[in-house]
Amino acid sequence: MDAPLLEMRRLSVVYRTSGGPVRAVRDVDLTIRKGDIVGIVGESGSGKTSLVSAIMTLLPPKATIEGQILFGGRDLYGLDAKQRRALRGNGIATIFQDPFTAFNPVTPIGRQLVEFQHWRRDLDDGARWRRAEEMLVRVGLGDPGLRMHQYPHQLSGGIRQRIGIAAALLTDPLLLIADEPTTALDATTEMQIIELLAEARSMVDGAIVFVTHDMALVGAFCDRVAVMYAGELVEVAPVDPAFSALRHPYSRALLACDPARLPEGCREFPTIPGHVPAPFARRSGCIFEPRCGQAAPVCATTPPPAVVAGDGSIVRCHRVPA
């Protein structure tokens, strides 16, 4: 088996606040190998953004990490600032969720795409320009010469997101992080972007991490799903059309809330009772216990073990047999 491309070991992200330390991510263990497409899913406030910010080494100054993030065997937080910058855009690339703010508004798109390739010392600006035009065609944009001379405000959100994907792919990343890339788009454009990302799989000689709150998008695009709740990774499982491998009560509750799975004529949208706990709340047992319809007394007092199944899935739940 190939060595992991990305490995998180007991990773926690801690923010310093006036009220004391807040753990936005708690003791996450996750391994991603070359060829994987892993969907990280959870409600707002589950820690997804803090997790991917840690992977990109773009945490704010008030944040620190505990544990390790290894990329290609290198500890990202053992590198100096210059080495981390060198990895961003030349090893790790990101498609951000807001295509309206992802580009410099006063610089033409072509100039920006050329600058994204600054690390290609073997290419002059002319070659980088031609390479950028070719990539715009590959992501489904006609008339690339016109697009290269346009400014971001002249483009729709869907076109800007396609250009964002092109910009990320121009760096030949080993790890591509798509951070909720369809959030600001309409439903039709959303599916077009998902189809484009699926096609882009052949252009990434590594792995893709897809961050979303939408289980339907995970089912359409990913090989594995990593479910986060209140900063903790509660389940990692393979993806199949029925999500039959999901066993954690929270994972199943998210699936039940998927609009695409509601019966025809349903007049009431399902919800998960209760609220995500505040990140500074003290915890003793299972973090999902206050909202879980299957909770037992042990769930309130004892953290659940990590149960590993034969298909490689991992679930943290007292109700799942070892």
pLDDT tens digits along 19-37 = 888 999 999 999 999 999 9
Cα(51)–Cα(40) distance, rounded to whole angstroms?
10
Distance CA 98, CA 157 (A): 9
Q: Which residue has the tokens 């840690």?
A: 54
Which structural domain range is residue 275 located in? Answer: 1-91+204-263+270-311
Report pLDDT digits (tens) over 46-100. Answer: 999 999 999 999 999 999 999 999 999 999 999 998 899 888 878 899 998 887 7
**Is residue 162 within 8 Å of 144, Cβ to Cβ?**
no
Tell me the pLDDT tens digit for each residue of 148-202. 999 999 999 889 999 999 999 998 899 999 998 888 788 888 888 888 888 888 8
Question: Which two three-digit tokens encode residue 294?
Answer: 């299957």
Whether pTM > 0.85 for this model: the answer is: yes
pLDDT digits (tens, 9 = 90+) for 100-117: 788 999 999 999 999 989
Q: Encode pLDDT of 175-187 as tens digits.
A: 999 998 888 788 8
The answer to whether position 86 is within a domain reads yes
Q: What's the one-letter identity of residue 267? A: R
Which helix (H) or strand (E) element contains residue 158? helix 157-169
Does residue 236 fall inside a structural domain? Answer: yes
Helical pair 187-200 and 157-169, crossing angle rounded to 10 deg: 10
Residue reference for tokens 């800007």: 160
Residue 218 lies in a domain: yes
CATH number for the domain spanning 216: value is 3.40.50.300
Rounded to whole angstroms, how far apart are CA atoms 251 and 7? 22
pLDDT of residue 85: 87
What is the number of domains present in the chain? 1
The SS3 of residue 215 is helix
Asked if the structure places residue 145 within a domain, the reply is no
